[in-house]
Amino acid sequence: MDVFERILGTMVPVLLIVAVGAAYARYRNPDMRVTNQINMDLFVPILIFSSFSDAQFELIAYTDLAIGGLLVILGSGVLVWPIGRLLGYDYRTFVPPVMFTNTGNLGLPLALLAFGEAALPGMVVLFVIEMVSHFTLGFYMLDRRARVINDLSIPTLIATAAALSVNLLGIELPSMIDTGIDFLGDICIPLMLFALGIRIATVKWNDLPIALWCSALTPLTGLILVFALQPFLQLEPMQFSVFILFGALPPAVLNFMVAERYNQEPAKVASMVLISNMASAIVIPIALLLSPVF
């Protein structure tokens, strides 16, 4: 019963905020473009800065986790590309959502709720790896002329560089400034979940077959790679638990936004993201049960 209660304690707050966003969208149909832009331009970079600039954060301790995250992203693409081709799907539609998962909207709050504050730096590392990969390789997969440095990637890259500089130089910020930065960074997690609920409520349930394939293959390939890599990475229990959660995450909402931007079958991608995120309510508890520190 204790495990069941812990799963509920992790999943219910997440699902509640998503549900509030979905319900509000049905009532008001808000335009979240400005809010999402503020979150991506300001609050998410501040969270990254807050996590990485902490004097207790030792970057070298997360090197293997970062390498593992990158290998899961690339490996997932390699595994699903022939499957998508066999099924007759355009790889630019089918492969990126499997590779680039919801580390921000779901990964960060789930890691915090399931494993506590100690897990947050590890998931932030994976979030940065996922975001940078998506802004570079993900954009290139859809458009060979896409620029690595663009309006979406610049705030994240600046925050990462600034935070690592502060950390490596041993600079300690005044406590009142540090507290304010922490408060601003904390805004992004519930706002991401709320925005996910808004997006879920406004996406139509189309293209069910490709969405079901995506729902099954995204966590399956991720978890296979996580457990295949662990004997080589030898991550300690907390990092391995975060790594397992990372492997089980559904596609990121950003996949839909990017597909819409490049006109790459956005309706199909939206359905893949929607149904996979709904299915994660079943997948995530299984991943938590597999985690050594849960």
Residue 205 has pLDDT above 70, yes or no: no
Mind listing the pLDDT tens digit for each residue in 43-57? 888 888 887 777 566
**Cα-to-chain-centroid distance, residue 111:** 11
Residue 12 has pLDDT above 60, yes or no: yes
Cα torsion for 58, 60, 66, 68, to the nearest 10°?
A: -130
- Looking at residue 236, the DSSP 8-state letter turns out to be -
CATH number at residue 37: 1.20.1530.20
Give the residue-averaged pLDDT of 162-174. Answer: 81
pLDDT band at residue 3 under the 50/70/90 scheme: low
Q: Give CA–CA dist 77/54, Å, rounded.
A: 33
Q: Which residue has the higher pLDDT, 261 or 47?
A: 47
* Closest among 216, 292, 284, 228 to 9, alpha carbons compared: 284
- Looking at residue 204, the DSSP 8-state letter turns out to be -
Domain that holds residue 120: 2-290
Residue 77 has pLDDT above 70, yes or no: yes
Give the residue-averaged pLDDT of 78-86. Answer: 96
Q: Give CA–CA dist 194/15, Å, rounded.
A: 10
Does residue 16 contact residue 294 with C-beta atoms inside 8 Å?
Answer: no
Give the residue-averaged pLDDT of 76-104. Answer: 94
Does residue 107 contact residue 10 with C-beta atoms inside 8 Å?
Answer: no
pLDDT band at residue 223 under the 50/70/90 scheme: very high
Residue 257 has pLDDT above 50, yes or no: yes
Q: What is the pLDDT of residue 163?
A: 81
Q: Rounded mean pLDDT of the chain?
A: 85
Q: Give CA–CA dist 91/83, Å, rounded.
A: 10
Q: What is the pLDDT of residue 100?
A: 95
Q: What is the pLDDT of residue 148?
A: 60
Burial environment of residue 3 by CB neighbours within 10 A (0 to 12, 13 to 18, 19 or more)? exposed
Mind listing the pLDDT tens digit for each residue in 119-156? 988 998 998 899 888 888 888 888 777 666 666 667 87
Number of folded domains that form the chain: 1
Q: What is the pLDDT of residue 39?
A: 82
Radius of gyration of the chain (CA): 18
CA separation, residue 15 to residues 44, 234, 255, 287 (Å): 20, 32, 21, 17
Helices (H), the chain: 2-28, 33-38, 44-52, 63-87, 91-99, 108-115, 120-133, 139-142, 154-169, 175-202, 208-233, 237-248, 254-261, 266-290
CA separation, residue 175 to residues 45, 182, 248 (Å): 19, 10, 36
Residue 230 has pLDDT above 50, yes or no: yes
Q: What is the pLDDT of residue 82?
A: 96
